[in-house]
């Protein structure tokens, strides 16, 4: 297994030693005043936003990409009538400071960054949701910092790159032959900027990324501020081709170690195929699965009503379960 537990612990501990913010830790969510903020982290300032409040345990949401800022996650603000909802842009994405220092573009760095933010906000019993690449980060965080997590939500998960690519290949084969040929031709030449390749990528995204057309302003903002250097370095040139540092990622061998309630969600037409998501859930006995009707990868954009309902009901049950 590429990311075995001992390597996780050693790598993340080394980064945490330099990234944790001494002296700013708070307890009991004392820093959860609604608003937009920045906090200095190694590498630059990180932007975060707190929405709402209420008796429910806070929810922290991790965006996808890597490098795709959190604009597209805005529909989850609907949950803020019951709890504080915290969004943030990881270093290098969106409203957070950008850097070309690739030593910051690592799983250990982003895990330690999340833990620093948790400590700044005084979160000691919170729900953690990751979407897409954010599920990799959520899993890695939970493997090394399990004590503060009340539940996990894996939204359209990417917990095995090999499985993701196999599923993506099956989806590419559903495209018109001309688009399949354009993809194959340009990937063989590494001409990823070619107009015909980009057109094929666009067609793939309109089927399997977000089907609700025209795309919302929040999706447009996410793409306009996507850090393509970060995305390319860690992932690759497109959703269906991985050439970056995450190409060997596989968390499936350790999912059974996560002893917290978990919800897995996916869209009916998601890149994260429902069959694959059910497989991931089977590795965590007792976890729940929800398939969002009519939605592709951006379930919260394609069918926000059903997506919000599913997440809301799960969080409510966990908050009110008997200890």
311: which 2 tokens?
């997440």
In the predicted structure, residue 24 carries a pLDDT above the cut 60: no
Query: What residues act catalytically?
Result: 132, 270, 297
Residue burial 271-309, b: 16+ Cβ < 10 Å; e: rest:
bbbbebbeebbebbeebbbbbbeebbbbbbbbbbebbbe
Q: Which of 139, 151, 145 is nearest to 2 (CA)?
A: 139
Q: What is the mean pLDDT of residues 278-299?
A: 97
pLDDT score at 321: 87
User: What's the CA gap between 53 and 116, in Å, rounded?
Assistant: 21
pLDDT digits (tens, 9 = 90+) for 88-133: 999 999 999 999 999 999 999 999 999 999 999 999 999 999 999 9
Which residues make Cβ contacts (< 8 Å) with residue 101, sequence separation at least 6? 43
31 pLDDT higher than 90: no
164 SS3 class: helix
The pLDDT tens digits of the residues spanning 186-205 come to 999 999 999 999 999 999 99
Q: CA 299, 302, 306, 309 torsion: positive or negative?
A: positive
Q: Is the pLDDT of residue 322 over 60?
A: yes
Q: Which residues make Cβ contacts (< 8 Å) with residue 215, sequence separation at least 6?
A: 301
In angstroms, the CA 261 to CA 4 distance is 22
DSSP string, 86-140: EEEPPTTSTTSPP---GGGSSHHHHHHHHHHHHHHHT-SSEEEEEETHHHHHHHH
């Amino acid at each position: 297994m590429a990311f075995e537990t001992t390597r996780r612990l050693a790598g993340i501990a080394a980064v945490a030693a330099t990234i944790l913010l001494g002296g700013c830790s708070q307890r009991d969510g004392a820093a959860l005043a609604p608003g937009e903020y920045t906090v200095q982290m190694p590498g630059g300032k990180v932007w975060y936003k707190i929405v709402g409040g209420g008796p429910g345990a806070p929810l922290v949401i991790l965006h996808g990409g890597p490098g795709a800022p959190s604009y597209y996650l805005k529909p989850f603000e609907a949950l803020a009538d019951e709890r504080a909802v915290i969004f943030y842009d990881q270093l290098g994405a969106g409203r957070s400071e950008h850097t070309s220092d690739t030593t910051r573009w690592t799983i250990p760095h982003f895990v330690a960054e999340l833990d620093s933010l948790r400590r700044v906000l005084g979160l000691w019993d919170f729900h953690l949701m990751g979407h897409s690449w954010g599920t990799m980060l959520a899993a890695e965080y939970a493997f090394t910092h399990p004590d503060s997590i009340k539940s996990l939500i894996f939204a359209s998960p990417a917990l095995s790159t090999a499985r993701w690519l196999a599923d993506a290949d099956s989806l590419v084969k559903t495209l018109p032959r001309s688009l399949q040929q354009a993809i194959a031709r340009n990937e063989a030449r590494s001409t990823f900027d070619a107009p015909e390749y980009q057109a094929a990528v666009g067609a793939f995204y309109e089927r399997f990324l977000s089907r609700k057309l025209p795309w919302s302003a929040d999706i447009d903002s996410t793409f306009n501020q996507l850090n393509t250097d970060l995305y390319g370095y860690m992932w690759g040139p497109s959703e269906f081709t991985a050439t970056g540092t995450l190409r060997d990622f596989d968390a499936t061998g350790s999912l059974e170690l996560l002893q917290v309630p978990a919800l897995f969600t996916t869209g009916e037409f998601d890149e994260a195929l429902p069959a694959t998501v059910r497989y991931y859930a089977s590795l965590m006995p007792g976890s729940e699965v929800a398939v969002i009707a009519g939605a592709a990868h951006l379930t919260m954009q394609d069918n926000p009503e059903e997506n919000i309902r599913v997440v809301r009901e799960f969080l409510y049950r966990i908050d009110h379960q008997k200890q």
